[in-house]
Amino acid sequence: MNVIGMMSGTSLDGQSIGYVRIDECPHPFVSTFIAGEAYPFPDELRRDLFSLAGSGLVSTELVARSHRGLGRYADECLKRFLREKSLPRPDLVGFHGQTVFHQPSSGGTTTFQIGDPSPLAYDLGVPLVSDFRSMDTAAGGQGAPMVSAVDFLKYKSSDKTRFILNIGGIANFTALPAGCSLSDVLAFDVGPGNILVDAIVDELTNHQLRYDDGGNIALSGHVSEQLIDAILEADDYRTLPYPKTTGRERYGRLLVDSIISRGKTLALSNEDIIATATHYTAYMVSHHIKLLAGRGIIPDELIVGGGGSRNRYLTKTLEKDNPKVKLSFHDDYGVPSTFWESYAFAVLAYLTYHGYTGNVISATGASKEVALGRINFPAKTSLG
């Protein structure tokens, strides 16, 4: 079965598409990544999405316009993707949409993804799965992390403990103890991924750059321990218990502004501020690896994916801080690291379409396993 996964993450950089062939699933799991592409958001749509993902008041008109606009843009991207790659129409599509609000609380998680799936379903005429998170939150879960089941299917091992790290806007990992069953899987957000660094780069370069390409800016700077201490004082996420998830509500404009302001007070260069913020991302990953090691879950291998896998400062720091852990990338296992989430939502769509559960209750905190998402089916028979 040919399945497309579509993902746009917390970084709000664009629409990512992955084309996947799934031959067998779930046991054994046999899949092949065929092709992928990412399409940057148009400036107006990106501004609207940032407005929605901020902490201020927004209008219902903006919500409706962005919901429609994202769906139509996703449809345009998918048609362009199939044409440019000379690929046949898929049998199924998984469309994540864009998370514009995510806030766990003791009273239940509130999470909201926009992006109208109707243009995609209408133009392709194939089943389309969307709104993946809501069923998990209905079951009392946090609606994240979402791709832990896919991590388990692809990377479980009888003799190796593997941590699957995704560095998107937010960084999260899935811990797969050697010989684990699904109930043994532990997954959670570990803190910021690219979200802080991207916003700081954007601000410090007067919006000339959207991200630190390859980590080159960070590599040219020096880490300030004083600024690290200030960030640690402002961010208590590392102290929160599992299961836990986070988002732009914590790592948004207020924290970005405070980091830049404190950096300037310390007379740091732009490069030093960026290096320090990048170092904090790596610190939070390594901090949580050490916490799990204290519980006897010690990784043999760390498999890295997401846009942050291209940041050489991050990967070098992770290697340095975890010298006994083999650092690998999804590329080493047949999936481009930057398209891991697109690949994963293709697999999740496949599971939903065939009636399998897709959440991992030890990761999200849900009370039971559920099938994720809702499906738009093409019409088969006219009433006329």
pLDDT tens digits along 198-241: 999 999 999 999 999 999 999 999 999 999 999 999 999 999 99
Q: What is the DSSP string of 303-345?
A: EEESGGGG-HHHHHHHHHH-TTSEEEEGGGGTS-GGGHHHHHH
DSSP 60: H
Position 188 scores a pLDDT of 93
Residue 53 pLDDT? 82
Q: Report the pLDDT value the prediction gives residue 159, as an integer from 0 to 100.
A: 97
* Residues contacting 157, CB < 8 A, separation 6+: 176, 178, 179
pTM: 0.93
At 57 the pLDDT is 84
CATH class assigned to 2-143+348-376: alpha beta
pLDDT of 72 over the 90 cut: yes
Residue 355 CA to residue 352 CA, distance in Å, equals: 5
- Going by their DSSP bridges, the two strands 98-103 and 110-114 should be labelled as antiparallel
Express as a percent the part of the chain with pLDDT over 70.
Answer: 100
Amino acid 193: pLDDT: 95
- Which of these CATH numbers, 3.30.420.40, 3.40.50.150, 3.40.50.1820, 3.40.640.10, describes 148-337? 3.30.420.40
Structure-token pair, residue 60: 């219902």
Report residue 63's pLDDT band, with 50, 70 and 90 as the boundaries: very high
Separation of alpha carbons 75 and 117, rounded Å: 8
Q: Kindly report, residue by residue over 127-141, the tens digit of the pLDDT.
A: 999 999 999 999 999
Asked whether this chain's domains 2-143+348-376 and 148-337 adopt the same fold, the reply is yes
C-alpha distances (whole Å) from 359 to each of 140, 327, 355 are 12, 26, 12
254's torsion region: left (phi>0), alpha (psi -120 to 50) or beta? alpha
Residue 56's pLDDT is: 74
261 pLDDT more than 70 = yes
Query: How many CB atoms within 10 Å of residue 23?
Result: 10
Which of 303, 27, 299 is closest to 182 using CA atoms?
A: 27
Q: Is the pLDDT of residue 106 over 80?
A: no
Q: Over the stretch 117-170, which tens digit does the pLDDT of each residue have? A: 999 999 999 999 999 999 999 999 999 889 999 999 999 999 999 999 999 999
Choice among 242-246, 324-328, 370-374 with the minimum mean pLDDT:
242-246
The Cα 371–Cα 125 span in angstroms is 22
Report the 10 Å Cβ neighbour count for 252. 18
Assess contact for 343 and 33: CB atoms under 8 A: yes
pLDDT band at 242 (very low <50, low <70, confident <90, very high): confident
Is a pLDDT exceeding 70 seen at residue 177?
yes
Query: 168 Cβ partners below 8 Å, 6+ apart?
Result: 9, 10, 11, 193, 194, 306, 307, 308, 341
Name the residue ranges covered by the structural domains of the chain: 2-143+348-376, 148-337
Per-residue confidence (pLDDT) for residue 12, from 0 to 100: 82
Percentage of the residues of the chain whose pLDDT score is greater than 90: 88
Residue 55, pLDDT above cutoff 90: no
Give the sheet arrangement for strand 30-40, strand by strand: 30-40, 14-24, 2-7, 92-95, 128-130, 374-376
Query: Rounded mean pLDDT of 327-332?
Result: 97
